[in-house]
A and B are shown apart, each in its own frame.
Chain A
Amino acid sequence: MTTSDLVRRRVVSDHPLPWLMPLIAILVVFTIFPLVYNIWLSFHEFVPRRRALEWVGGRNWAQLWADTRFWQSLTVTFIYFGIALAVELVLGMAIALLLDADEPGFGFLRGILTMTLVIPPAIAGMMYLLMEDPQFGVISYVLKAIGLLSPATPILATTQYALAGVLLAEIWQWTPFMVLILLAGLRALPSEPYEAAMIDGASPWQTFWRLTMPMMSKVIAIAVLIRGIDLFRVFDYVFVMTSGGPGTATYTLSLYAWQQTFSFVKWGYGATLSLVMLLIVLIIANVFIKVAKVRW
């Protein structure tokens, strides 16, 4: 057999391996190796005085239990995750149902809605940072004008309001994403069940809860899954708007992991924190997939 026969045989092979090799190579280089390296790193720590990564066994993992900053940032991340996901889902569904009505001009509105998604989150954070400025910000001005905020209260520097201030930017930017997914789901629903419900005299409320929601459940599950994973690693808004403050009121887990890794050169502990984040996301996502019966 000549070389060209060999090549031809490989090229026209119906065995899956040659066709999967590029993808496997990409996965190994960009996913599996970093993951394995991160796991290895979590059992080591960089020692500045000796300029070396040294084996520390399970110390980084054990340190998590006693690290109050870790628990605080985990709590903030869960609160952020829960509130943002709930508000984006409810608002997204409401807007999607509205846009599904297809009134004149709604096509334009759908186009406008997607515009927030092309703005880099750091820029959106900067915008809201200015809008929430106690001196010059339009949001602060309006809240003060209607009596919801006292003149001397800076939203992002007040423990009670800072997280809400950050969430405002998050929700503004990402609710349209929910709208797009949910609207696509609504458009794909069959019309027959609705016609039958109308003949049977079902109210709009009953139609929504008995027909739309069950039929939309898979789409909602996918939307929640995608946004949920994204929300859990929130970084940009917090970094730009509050740097985690005041105090630790808006300190999220990803910000903490970044700070430990890049600001304090604690590569081992930073890797441990990022692995914890990965584990939490994996567990939550898999439980959710099971409960919501999401099929990929």
Chain B
Amino acid sequence: MSSGTGAPAGGAHDETLVLGVPEIARALTRIAHEVLERNRGAADVVLLGIPTRGLPLARRLAARLAEVEPALDVDALLGSLDVTMYRDDLAHHPTRSIGATHLPPGGIDGKVVVLVDDVLYSGRTIRAALDAISDLGRPRGVQLAVLVDRGHRELPIRPDFVGKNLPTAAAERVRVLLDEIDGRDAVLIEGAVL
């Protein structure tokens, strides 16, 4: 979409840098403004990050929302949603460990939940997240913000806010690195033939 194409990574074998530090920052700032615009402020908005990398992204988005609207309280805005126990592919993988689900003190009833994840791919994680949300309460609406949409959807799910649309082949691997977890910010494509 509007964010610029990152400079190609110098020398790495089959690894291409798609978004660097400034691009990720700009994309998040834009998404934050889009969230505010779409919801006419953020009074009813709850950001739920999906572990692992959705969590720091949600936290950064919440900080940006609070920058624009200083009346907002980041803690009342931010939560995490673990979807492991709602996945449809548990029987096809080794046992996954379960992450934490924390809702902000006000809960999600009647709120607008913005799900935050790093990469949107098959859509199955978001399907699981929608099921998890319906067990936790009844939000007024659910929206989806992702840093990267790489296509190949297997379910009728679409994002509302996208950092970057990234056409990929199914054989390629998209890796999102975030400072809070990986020590640096980057979005990489591996196995890419560019």
A, B bound: no
